[in-house]
C-alpha cells in the first residue's frame, strides 16, 4: 500500500486545481490583490477600484480575498459569506433598505441577485466564500 498522494496526471499550471495541490495549509491573505477601476456605470462617487485573488477551492466553492478602495459603487451580488479583515464602510441592500456597517471582524451573508450599494471609507479587504 502506498501513501504517495501526488497526482498521477499532469495538472494544468495556474488552474484552481494546480493551486490547491501546491498551497500550504496557511493561506496568504496579506499578499497584494490586483485592483482595477470599476465599471463607470456602477460608480456613484469617487473612483473606486476593486479586485480579488482566489486562495483555494473547497468542495467546489471558491475561497479568496477581495478588496475595494474608497468610493461608492453599486453591485448585483452572488451567493457569498465574507469576513472583513481590514477597512471600513457600509453595504446597503437596495431591496429592503438594510444597511450593514463594515469593520474588521464583520461577517456578512450576501444572496445571489441582491442589489447593493457599497460605501468604502477606508480600503476594505475581506475573505469571501462563494
Contact residues for 36 (Cβ-Cβ < 8 A; gap 6+): 49, 50, 51
- pLDDT, averaged per 10 consecutive residues of the chain (130 residues), comes to 46 48 76 96 98 94 97 98 98 97 98 98 98
pTM of the model: 0.80
Find where cell 479587504 sits.
125
Q: How many CB atoms lie within 10 A of CB 36?
A: 8
Q: What is the pLDDT of residue 19?
A: 52
CA 121/CA 54 separation, integer angstroms: 24
Q: What is the pLDDT of residue 119?
A: 98
Q: What is the pLDDT of residue 63?
A: 96
Q: What is the pLDDT of residue 24?
A: 66
Q: Which domains does the chain have, with CATH numbers?
A: 16-129 (2.60.120.10)
Amino acid at each position: 500500500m502506498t501513501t504517495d498522494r501526488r497526482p498521477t496526471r499532469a495538472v494544468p499550471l495556474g488552474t484552481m486545481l494546480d493551486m490547491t495541490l501546491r498551497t500550504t495549509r496557511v493561506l496568504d491573505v496579506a499578499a497584494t490583490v490586483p485592483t482595477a477601476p470599476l465599471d463607470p456605470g456602477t460608480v456613484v462617487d469617487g473612483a473606486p477600484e476593486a479586485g480579488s485573488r482566489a486562495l483555494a477551492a473547497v468542495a467546489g466553492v471558491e475561497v479568496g480575498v477581495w478588496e475595494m478602495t474608497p468610493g461608492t459603487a453599486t453591485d448585483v451580488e452572488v451567493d457569498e459569506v465574507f469576513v472583513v479583515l481590514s477597512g471600513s464602510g457600509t453595504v446597503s441592500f437596495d431591496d429592503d433598505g438594510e444597511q450593514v456597517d463594515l469593520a474588521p471582524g464583520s461577517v456578512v451573508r450576501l444572496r445571489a441577485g441582491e442589489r447593493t450599494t457599497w460605501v468604502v471609507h477606508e480600503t476594505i479587504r475581506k475573505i469571501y466564500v462563494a
